[in-house]
Amino acid sequence: MPRLGGGFNRLSHRLVRQVMWQSSRAADNLARRQVLDLPPAPLFGPFGSARLRRLPVLYGFSPAVVPAPADWDANTHVTGYWFLDSAAGWTPPPALASFLADGPPPVYVGFGSMASRQPEETADLVLRTLAETGQRAVMLSGWSGLQADRLPSSVIMVESVPHAWLFPRVAAIVHHGGAGTTAAGLRAGVPSILIPFFGDQGFWAGRVQALGVGPAPIPRRELTAARLAEALRQAITDEALRRRAAELGATIRAEDGIGRAVAIFATLSKTM
Of 154 and 111, the structure prediction assigns the larger pLDDT to: 154
CA distance linking residue 159 with residue 139, whole number of Å: 9
* pLDDT at residue number 270: 65
Class of domain 94-254: alpha beta
Phi and psi dihedrals of 216, rounded to 5? Answer: -60, 135
CB atoms within 10 A of CB 38: 11
Q: In terms of Cα–Cα distance, which of 83, 76, 259 is closest to 181?
A: 83
- pLDDT bucket at 51, cuts 50 / 70 / 90: confident
CA distance linking residue 115 with residue 117, whole number of Å: 7
* pLDDT at residue number 113: 66
- pLDDT tens-digit series, residues 113-163: 665 556 677 888 899 999 999 999 999 886 555 555 678 999 999 988 999
* pLDDT at residue number 193: 97
* pLDDT at residue number 53: 79
Q: Which residues pair with 192 in a beta bridge?
A: 173
Q: How many CA atoms lie within 13 A of 145 on its CB side?
A: 13
Q: Is the pTM of this model over 0.85?
A: yes
Whether the CB-CB separation of 257 and 79 falls below 8 Å is answered with yes
Domain ranges of the chain: 1-52, 55-81+255-272, 94-254
CA distance linking residue 34 with residue 256, whole number of Å: 36
- DSSP-based three-state secondary structure for 158: strand
- pLDDT bucket at 52, cuts 50 / 70 / 90: confident
CA distance linking residue 37 with residue 30, whole number of Å: 10
Q: How many CA atoms lie within 13 A of 93 on its CB side?
A: 11
- pLDDT tens-digit series, residues 17-27: 999 999 999 99
Q: Which residues pair with 59 in a beta bridge?
A: 78
